[in-house]
Amino acid sequence: MRYAEISRAVNAAVHSEGIFLACSHSRGTIFTDRVTSVEAVPATNTLKVSGCFQTITLTNLWDNNNASLMIHEENGGNCFQIVGVVSEIIPCDGESNGYTHSLILILKPKHVLCMNEPAHDTHVEESLFHPV
């Protein structure tokens, strides 16, 4: 997956209304957030997605074997980070999964990050996730 393709998919999602960002990690905790900004740095192949409570940084996007993801969340004054290795990147056009703009990142071992806009009124926490 090329960086430009990922960047276009993310920007298409962020420039729509009702965008949500969510993640699940091996301990089963789920976070949802509304995306507030996306900062792309093509020179370093880094993409930073910020929400109200979370900042997600994607690095080495040109190499799926070494691409990594870091989530920094501040909630009630408690800060922590989740680090994962990207194993698959799936940009979706909405036809296959019911979302208008969607970017799904599958992380090792069982990390899932999905940022999208629900095409229909659905329960966000349940609708964002796809089995790994």
- pLDDT per residue as tens digits for the range 93-113: 545 444 444 455 555 543 444
Which residue has 């910020």 as its token pair? 50
Please report the pLDDT score of residue 123 as a whole number: 32
* pTM metric for this prediction: 0.45
- pLDDT per residue as tens digits for the range 32-47: 566 677 676 666 667 7
Number of domain units in the chain: 1
CB 81 within 8 A of CB 59: no
Domain containing residue 83:
3-127
Residue 30 lies inside a defined structural domain of this protein: yes
Residue 132 lies inside a defined structural domain of this protein: no
Residue 22 lies inside a defined structural domain of this protein: yes
- Give Cβ neighbours of residue 82 (< 8 Å, ≥ 6 apart): 23, 25, 70, 71, 73, 111
Omega before 109 within 30 of 0, i.e. cis: yes
Alpha carbons 57 and 79: distance in angstroms, whole number: 15
Higher-confidence residue: 122 or 69?
A: 69
Portion of the chain with pLDDT greater than 90, in percent: 0
Higher-confidence residue: 89 or 115?
A: 89
Which CATH number do you get for residue 13? Answer: 2.30.29
Which residue has 């109200």 as its token pair? 52
- Computed over every residue of the chain, the mean pLDDT equals 53
Collapse the DSSP code of 91 into the 3-class scheme (helix H, G, I; strand E, B; otherwise coil) and give the result: strand
Q: DSSP letters along 24-63, please?
A: E-TT--EEEEEEEEEEEEGGGTEEEEEESSEEEEEE-TT-
Residue 78 lies inside a defined structural domain of this protein: yes
Residue 119 lies inside a defined structural domain of this protein: yes
